[in-house]
Amino acid sequence: MTVGGFTLREARPEDVPAIFGFVRALAEYENLADEVEADEACFAAALFGASPRAHALLAEISGVPVGFALWFYNFSTFAGRPGIFVEDVFVDPAYRGNGIGRAFFQALARRALAEGCRRLEWWVLDWNQPALHFYRSIGARAMEEWTVQRVSGPALAALAATEENHHG
């Protein structure tokens, strides 16, 4: 789909280096570069392996990648329907303000509706005012009554190693 001088398209295996480059640039922008554990092989497996766990869209200008959106399906037990969780959206700073971010969210909203999904969801850092302003402009609302919970690293390993002791 070509819009406003850029094209959105589904990612292909040869796009993995560009996707990984965008992930690293996003991590640097969010001051989280030291948390990137992934490498290109991780993205190749997750996006294009035997059992893909994620999907991606790329934005291009004259065939050059300038941004990406990476997403996966989640599920709402209350709605009884799937949703789309947008893990990351990143547009190269030189190309921001051209509608690329909005086009990513529009494309994902169209996909969600076409596939019977009930919602798009994502996280945003609370200090990222430009992103928060943009999200409000597209109709997003904060889920302030909810907090994100996470178990990872050594805590994940410890939880998994906990001896089962089920009564019943």
Write the DSSP string, 130-142.
HHHHHHHHTT---
Are the C-beta atoms of 69 and 86 separated by less than 8 Å? yes
Tell me the CA end-to-end span of the chain in Å, nearest whole number. 55
Are the C-beta atoms of 34 and 129 separated by less than 8 Å? no
Are the C-beta atoms of 33 and 23 separated by less than 8 Å? no
Q: How far apart are CA 6 and CA 107, in angstroms?
A: 13
> For the chain, where are the alpha helices, taking DSSP H only?
16-29, 40-48, 100-114, 129-137, 153-161
Told to judge if 73 belongs to the known catalytic residues of this protein, a careful annotator would answer no
Q: What backbone phi and psi angles, to 5 degrees, belong to 56?
A: -145, 150
Active site residues: 135
